[in-house]
Amino acid sequence: MVFYSHLQSNLKLYFFVPLIITVVLGASKSSLAQGQDIQDEMDEWVNDTMCTLDDRSVKLGQAPSFTFTQSDGNNSRHLGAAQAGLSTADLSDLELAWAVAFPETSGLRAAPVIIGSTIFYSATDSGRVFALDINSGCAKWVYEAESRLRSSLAYSKIDDLGILVFSDARGMVHAIDARTGLPIWVASGQASNNQGMLTGTPVIHEDKVIVPVSGSGVITGGNPNYECCENHGAVTALDVHSGEKVWEYHTMPAAEYTGQVSPTGVKQRGPSGAPIWTTPTIDIKRGQIYVTTGENTSHPTTNTSDAIIALDIETGKANWVFQALENDIWNFGCSVGGPNCIILDDTNSVDFDFGGPAILVETDAGELLIAGQKSGDLWALDPETGALVWNQRVGEGTELGGNHWGIAADSERAFMTINDPGRGNGNSRPGIYSYFVSTGEPSWFYEVQPKCNEQRSERIRRCESLHGFSATPLSVDGAVITGGRDGRLFIFNSDSGELIFEYDTVKDYETVNGVEGYGGSIDSHSIAAGSGMVFVGSGYGQFRQVPGNVLLAFKPRE
C-alpha cells in the first residue's frame, strides 16, 4: 500500500489508536509546552473513551448491517429487518442504551458503518474516526486525521482487507484498515486545476473509489472584493489500492473572466458552481454513476446545475444530463444583497440544489431513478435515458430545503422529508411526505408542528420555527425514521404514516466516556440503524440551529 510506510513515522498509538502529529519547526519551548498540555487534555478524554485492553478486537466476519451506500452502490436508505436486526415492532418501543459525547464539538453530521459488534463513527468536528463497541459505547481504536472531517464513511473488503474510506476538509481521501484503524493511504480527491470541499461520501466500487467534489465559490461569493466565481463541481475516481487518480469529470469548463463587472467594479468570472456535495450512486447493470448537483454561482449558466447526471463508470464521461431548474445562480452575496449576486432577466436566484443522492428503485414497470430537491420537488427518471417519468412538489423550498439532505425508499414508497423554514408567504409545509414509487401518487404525510414548552424554548432558540425535517430519513423494515431541527426523533409506520415512537434528544446526558453531553438539532446524515440498535447524532450548530455533541444509542426495550 503506497502511503503506509510514509505515514508510520507520523503515528502515535493508543493501543491501536493512530494519531497524526504535526510538528512546527522552530517553535518556542513555551509554545511547545502549551501544545503538549493541550495534547495531554485531548489524550485524556480519548483514553477515557477506550475499551479495556481485552475488549478491543474488531471482527469483520459478518456482512455490514449498515452502510450509507449499499454494497451494490445504491443509496436507498432502506434496511430489511434481517439486515438491521430490528422489526417494526421493535422500533415502536426503544430505550436509550448509552451516550458518547465529543468535546469541542457543535454538530454531528456523518453516517457510520456498522458491522457486527462495532460501529465505525466519524465525529467530524473532532477530526476523528472511532471504532465503538455496539453494546457499551467504548472505543476499540481511534484514528485522528490532520484536519476536520466532513463525509460519512464507506466500507468494502478489498483482497480480504476491510477498508474504511472517508474525506477531510482539506480535500484529502483517507483509506484505513477497519480492523486496526491504521492508515493504508491518504491521497488528494481534488480534480485538476479546481478546488472544492469533499462533503459527499466516497463510494467504493470494485477497484475504484468514486469521490464527489463540492467546488463552487458559493461562500467566497459573499466577499464583495472576490472576483466571483472560480471553482466547480467534479468527480474523481481513485485506485482503491493506492489512491492514485484514474479519471476525473468536471461539471463545466474552467472559469474565465467574462467581461462582467460587479456594481463595485470587481471583475467577474465564470462559469462556476454545480457542486456535487452528495453521494454518488452506482448502477452496475448499466455501468453508470449517478451524481446530483447544486446551483451555478456566477454567469454564464450551465446545463449541469441543479441536475442529475449519469457518468460512465470506466471513463467518467457523461452519458446524459437531466436539469431540473435552469439558470439558478446563487452565492452568499445573494443572502446579503452583495455585489457578486448579479441577477439577470432570465436568472432564478433560489439555490435549489439537489442535496441528496439519487436512488434506484425497482417497480413493476422497471427501474426508476428518484431524487429529492431543495425546491421540494421529487423527481423520477428513466435511468437509461434520463427522461422524466413523474414529478411531485410539496411546500415552497428554500436555501435550506425543501428536501435538504435526501430521501429514503422501500420497494413501494419514497419518503421525502421537508424542512421549509418559511419565507412568510404561508406555503411552508415542514414534515414527511410519501409517494408510491411506481406512479408518483401521494400516499400519506405528516405535517410536523412546533413543540415549545418553557423548558424546550430555553434550550432551542427560535423554537417556534425550528421544527422542520432536514435530516435524511431511514427506512427500516416497515418503519421510517426521521428527526427534526428541534431535536425530536420520530418513527412512523411506513404503510399508514402512524407515529409509533417519539423522543426528545435536546437534554443533558450522562455519557459512558465522562465528557459533558448535550443534545441539539438532528440534521444531515445523523440517523442510522444496525445490529439491533438505532443510532442518532444529536447536535447541528450550523445555520442558526441547536449545537450538540452526543451520539445516542437506542435498543428495543426488554
Q: What is the pLDDT, as a whole number, of residue 32?
A: 38
Residue 37 has pLDDT above 70, yes or no: no
Q: What span, in angstroms and rounded, lies between the C-alpha atoms of 450 and 467?
A: 6
Residue 2 has pLDDT above 60, yes or no: no
Report the DSSP beta bridge partners of residue 250. 234
Residue 8 has pLDDT above 90, yes or no: no
Domain CATH number, residue 247: 2.40.10.480
What mean pLDDT do residues 483-493 have?
Answer: 97
Under the banding of pLDDT at 50, 70 and 90, the label for residue 33 is very low
- Dihedrals φ, ψ of 557, to 5°? -70, 135
Lowest-confidence pick of 163-172, 316-325, 425-434: 425-434
What mean pLDDT do residues 502-527 have?
Answer: 97
CB 148 within 8 A of CB 125: yes
User: Which residue in the block uniquely carries the three cell numbers 457578486?
Assistant: 340
Under the banding of pLDDT at 50, 70 and 90, the label for residue 30 is very low
Tally of domains within the chain? 1
The alpha carbon dihedral of 306, 312, 317, 320 has a sign of negative
Q: What is the pLDDT, as a whole number, of residue 26?
A: 34
What mean pLDDT do residues 76-101 have?
Answer: 98
Residue 533 has pLDDT above 80, yes or no: yes
Taken as a whole, the chain contains a residue count of 558
**Which of the two residues, 427 and 91, has the higher pLDDT score?**
91
Q: Does 104 fall in a domain?
A: no
What percentage of the chain carries pLDDT values higher than 90? 83
**Which of the two residues, 455 and 62, has the higher pLDDT score?**
62
CB 509 within 8 A of CB 528: no
- Dihedrals φ, ψ of 462, to 5°? 55, 40
Q: What is the pLDDT, as a whole number, of residue 461?
A: 84
Q: What tens digit of pLDDT does each residue of 191-246 get? A: 999 999 999 999 999 999 999 999 999 999 999 999 999 999 999 999 999 999 99
* C-alpha pair distances (Å), 523 with each of 77, 117, 224, 364, 378: 15, 25, 31, 33, 19
Q: Does 176 fall in a domain?
A: no
Judge residue 24's burial from the number of C-beta atoms within 10 Å of its C-beta, 0-12 exposed, 13-18 middle, 19 or more buried.
exposed
Under the banding of pLDDT at 50, 70 and 90, the label for residue 28 is very low
**3-state DSSP call for residue 233?**
coil
What mean pLDDT do residues 20-40 have?
Answer: 38
Residue 156 has pLDDT above 60, yes or no: yes
Query: Which residue type, as a one-letter code, is found at position 252?
Result: M
Give, in degrees to the nearest 5, the angle at Cα 4 between 121 and 44. Answer: 45
Range of the domain at 319: 189-356
What mean pLDDT do residues 389-394 have?
Answer: 98
**Which of the two residues, 512 and 27, has the higher pLDDT score?**
512
Do strands 288-292 and 307-312 pair parallel, antiparallel, or not at all (unpaired)? Answer: antiparallel
Q: Does 114 fall in a domain?
A: no
Q: Does 256 fall in a domain?
A: yes
Residue 530 has pLDDT above 90, yes or no: yes
Q: What tens digit of pLDDT does each residue of 262-294 get? A: 999 999 999 999 999 999 999 999 999 999 999
Q: What is the pLDDT, as a whole number, of residue 11?
A: 37
Q: What is the pLDDT, as a whole number, of residue 41?
A: 54
Judge residue 60's burial from the number of C-beta atoms within 10 Å of its C-beta, 0-12 exposed, 13-18 middle, 19 or more buried.
middle
What mean pLDDT do residues 316-343 have?
Answer: 95
Q: Does 146 fall in a domain?
A: no
Q: What span, in angstroms and rounded, lies between the C-alpha atoms of 10 and 77?
A: 37
Q: What tens digit of pLDDT does each residue of 295-314 get? A: 999 999 999 999 999 999 99
Q: Does 94 fall in a domain?
A: no
Q: Does 290 fall in a domain?
A: yes
Residue 465 has pLDDT above 90, yes or no: no
**Which of the two residues, 399 and 9, has the higher pLDDT score?**
399
Q: Does 502 fall in a domain?
A: no
Q: What is the pLDDT, as a whole number, of residue 424?
A: 61
* C-alpha pair distances (Å), 251 with each of 123, 234, 409: 30, 6, 27
Q: What is the pLDDT, as a whole number, of residue 21?
A: 28
Under the banding of pLDDT at 50, 70 and 90, the label for residue 4 is very low
Q: What is the pLDDT, as a whole number, of residue 124?
A: 85
Lowest-confidence pick of 176-180, 404-408, 423-427, 536-540: 423-427
